[in-house]
Chain A
Amino acid sequence: EPEVTQTPSHQVTQMGQEVILRCVPISNHLYFYWYRQILGQKVEFLVSFYNNEISEKSEIFDDQFSVERPDGSNFTLKIRSTKLEDSAMYFCASSEYRVVDTQYFGPGTRLTVL
């Protein structure tokens, strides 16, 4: 069964460093998303991406964040200068269609900022 994959599973970084989180969405899916979950809290939408551009972003997704689809399979989330409060689980998701379709989530990347 096709699945969304994410690497790395755990990333530890120093405050102020740049991190790139990687995702490989399900191959026939056209819409890609990033969500984050601060430990013990609910899952929050960050950004959606379609046709090589951002479709929608939340208030959390400020100038420190960027997304990219560098090739035909990968979808990345970059945090330019990490802060302590960026520590969270980051989930990538993909769907075949927008909104009306089910979003399938990857296993997540746990980001720890020291």
Chain B
Amino acid sequence: AQKVTQAQTEISVVEKEDVTLDCVYETRDTTYYLFWYKQPPSGELVFLIRRNSFDEQNEISGRYSWNFQKSTSSFNFTITASQVVDSAVYFCALSEAGGGADGLTFGKGTHLIIQP
């Protein structure tokens, strides 16, 4: 069965520091999709990125970057020059395309606190 582990429960950094959120996944499928969602204090879930298992290219979007490594089953998320508005809970999630499961499997989330 699929599983997503976010070992960091909470991370606190000072504004402008870089921070990396770890995500390790388990799946028996060869075709799968990985996601990151942001949950700000207001509670909604905001989609950040989707990556399929055949595309190991790293992605950068502004201050955000993602490092996908199949060899270590990891999909880590880095925020460069963090800002207070980045404070939120970040969830990594997995979807198994081959297994036919519709639902996303979420990790427990990492609570990121950016201090001014």
Binding site for B on A (CB under 8 A): 31, 33, 35, 41-46, 48, 55-56, 58, 89, 91, 93, 98-100, 102-108, 110
Contacts and interface: CB of A to CB of B under 8 A. Distances in A.
B108 A42 contact: yes
Contacts of A35: 103-104
Contact of B44 (A33, A98, A107): A107
18 contacts: A33-B102, A35-B103, A35-B104, A42-B108, A42-B109, A44-B106, A56-B102, A58-B103, A91-B45, A99-B95, A99-B100, A99-B101, A102-B47, A103-B104, A105-B37, A105-B46, A107-B44, A108-B43
B55 to A, nearest CB: 13
Nearest to A49: B102
A83 B101 CA distance: 28
Interface in B71-116: 91, 93, 95-97, 100-109
Nearest to B43: A108
Interface residues of B, number: 26
A69 B25 CA distance: 34
B50 interface: yes
A46 B42 CA distance: 22
Interface of B: 33, 35, 37, 42-47, 50, 52, 91, 93, 95-97, 100-109
B104 A106 contact: no
B43 A89 contact: yes
Contacts of B104: 35, 43, 45, 103
